[in-house]
Structure 1
Amino acid sequence: MSSSPVPDPAQYARFRELQQLAYSAAEAVARGLEPGVTEREAAARLRHHLVERGVQDWFHTPFAWFGDRTAFRGFKVPLQFFPTRRRLEEGMPFILDCAPVRDGYVADIGYSGCLGANRIHDKLMDDLAAYRELIVEQVRAGRRLSDIYRAVDALISEQGYDNRHRVYPGRVIAHQVGMVRSRLPRFVAAGFGVRALQTLAQDLLVERMHHRSPLWADGRISRHPATPGMWAVEPHIGFRGVGVKFEEILVVEQDGDAFWLDDDLPHVRRRQDRKVTR
């Protein structure tokens, strides 16, 4: 959400701190989920948890998806992304997603879980780990964003799954993040913070002038290597009504090097605990 240069390394800690807060909030809400809770109630819990800990604004307010909605089954219009009265049941997968803003810093995370046992969910989570390595390796190699998108598609097909991030508006797998630059009052419209949206709109105009975009998809505008900066990356895969994803910040430096901002995240720890290999 920002076309500005890579932040000073001294700022990494502030972005990392907010990303950690967002993930810890998702983990806390996930631990408290029980049969019968609705998506709206889960999203409200996530929002309350973050506001209590100093979050002042949003790139987007919290989302929660239960059951086959984790795979965006039947999604056709943007309104279907918003939390519903769908109730959680035993064995049902869920995804919690939030993008808080604090002191101008932005994080955008996605947390996948399941209430009880679900073998399909566990297998998808195991296989999701490969995308984290694939993406950073290809960015470091200087490949065009559209080509990396297609490499992700190829891995999804190889694993026998469905690409679900293509259902997001603009088919995006990632978007740039940075400092929110706006003097507008804090206000949420249609689930998005107007200050963050203004910053994104400004970045879209600037990047278009350079034949680039702060949105990473598979079209012509993404036929360039990753622009230096910070990207919220969210590969999302699905199978038989179960969807899983992670979302976290990837840092791309001026020299083309790239690294994940933080390796101490739930999906990374899960992979280490289960000794998942590519």
Structure 2
Amino acid sequence: MSHKNVTGDTTTPAELDAFRELQRLAYRAAEDVAASLEPGVTEREAARRIREHLESHGVRDWFHTPFAWFGDRTAFRNLRVPLQFFPTRRRLEKGMPFILDCAPVRDGYVADIGYSGVLGRSPLHDRLVDDLGAHRDLIVERVRAGDTLQDVYRAVDDLIRAQGYDNRHRVYPGRVIAHQVGRVRSRLPRAIVAGFGVRSLQTLFGDLLVERLHHRSPLWADGDISAHPATPGLWAVEPHIGFRDMGAKFEEILVVTEDDAFWLDDDLPHVRHRTPAAVPLSA
């Protein structure tokens, strides 16, 4: 299957395989680091472990460097400025939730993933991760039906409220639930500025300019700029839900063609985690 993306290039089956391989590598890094976490490790140390894991597998560039959030920071409570999103010296404790997020670039291909876990056991955290599965189903079904991105975003909001949670991706810069990804084609030297790769940022800003000319955006939020169906291409989608001081999310690539939409890979940790739907929580 092939389709046109926003830059006019054709994404071939072989290229989709390359995106899928990198996404799986990123999730394996998150799983391996999650398994290595112990009480006392800091967010910065967890993020460093992810970076070293991926660099040992050929990653030399980044859309953004790894993030790690522990405890109530998984629900993005009191995060108001971009610098507060970066890893801190917060230490992990037993029973504490965590989110690991990374966006490696390899051979021009990009992955952007989010992995939710907990140190020990937490039925509440298990339920949050299970309930994210309904959002995964809803998003692909509504995009496939041709709904506007704005309407899909609002449907996700409605489902979050029905489940008894609150929307945490609205705290992200621009309130985005997703952004487009594609091949990074830049002659700039590899460099990181404020946690983001300059080559990837150049690609994103180029897409932003092109899409704005068509009154669209490669950033998916709930504003009027998203009042159009999904542009064919690859979207890194990250619904993020919270219950009090605990949050959970996933992030993975959604493939959108002229007449279809599908998740790039169904063999991912949060998909394998799913159990029958649970009764919604009451706040």
Give the structure-2-normalised TM-score.
0.95
Answer yes or no: is 1:262 the counterpart of 2:265: yes
Q: Any conservation in 1 of the 2:238–2:252 contact (CA below 8 Å)?
A: yes
Partners of 2:41 and 2:137 lie apart in 1 by 35
1:131 is displaced (CA, Å) by 0.4
Partners of 1:197 and 1:191 lie apart in 2 by 11
Query: For residue 47 of structure 1, what is the aligned residue in structure 2?
Result: 51
Query: For residue 90 of structure 2, what is the aligned residue in structure 1?
Result: 86
Matched residue of 1:91: which SS? coil
Query: For residue 222 of structure 2, what is the aligned residue in structure 1?
Result: 218
Query: For residue 130 of structure 1, what is the aligned residue in structure 2?
Result: 134
Q: How does 1:236-251 map to 2 (within 5 A)?
A: 236-251=240-255
1:119 is displaced (CA, Å) by 2.3
Equivalent in 52, 68, 73 of residue 69 of structure 1: 73
Answer yes or no: is 1:206 the counterpart of 2:210: yes
Matched residue of 1:98: which SS? strand
Query: For residue 113 of structure 1, what is the aligned residue in structure 2?
Result: 117
Report % sequence identity.
76
Matched residue of 1:61: which SS? strand
Answer yes or no: is 1:232 the counterpart of 2:233: no
1:245 is displaced (CA, Å) by 0.3
1:155 is displaced (CA, Å) by 0.3
Q: Any conservation in 2 of the 1:4–1:229 contact (CA below 8 Å)?
A: no
Partners of 2:276 and 2:159 lie apart in 1 by 20
1:27 is displaced (CA, Å) by 0.2
1:75 is displaced (CA, Å) by 0.5
Partners of 1:181 and 1:68 lie apart in 2 by 38
1:85 is displaced (CA, Å) by 0.2
Q: Any conservation in 1 of the 2:127–2:278 contact (CA below 8 Å)?
A: no
Equivalent in 140, 147, 150 of residue 144 of structure 2: 140
In structure 2, what residue type is equivalent to 1:187? A
Query: For residue 172 of structure 2, what is the aligned residue in structure 1?
Result: 168
1:12 is displaced (CA, Å) by 0.7
Matched residue of 2:79: which SS? coil
1:277 is displaced (CA, Å) by 7.7
Partners of 2:276 and 2:122 lie apart in 1 by 19
Matched residue of 2:179: which SS? strand
Matched residue of 2:40: which SS? coil
In structure 2, what residue type is equivalent to 1:265? L
1:275 is displaced (CA, Å) by 4.3
Answer yes or no: is 1:188 the counterpart of 2:173: no
1:45 is displaced (CA, Å) by 0.2
In structure 1, what residue type is equivalent to 2:272? R
Show CA shifts across 1:43-67 (max 9, x none): 0000000000000100000000000
Partners of 2:123 and 2:13 lie apart in 1 by 41
Consecutive unaligned residues of structure 2, counting only runs of 5 or more, are none
Q: Any conservation in 2 of the 1:226–1:252 contact (CA below 8 Å)?
A: yes
In structure 1, what residue type is equivalent to 2:42? T
1:10 is displaced (CA, Å) by 2.0
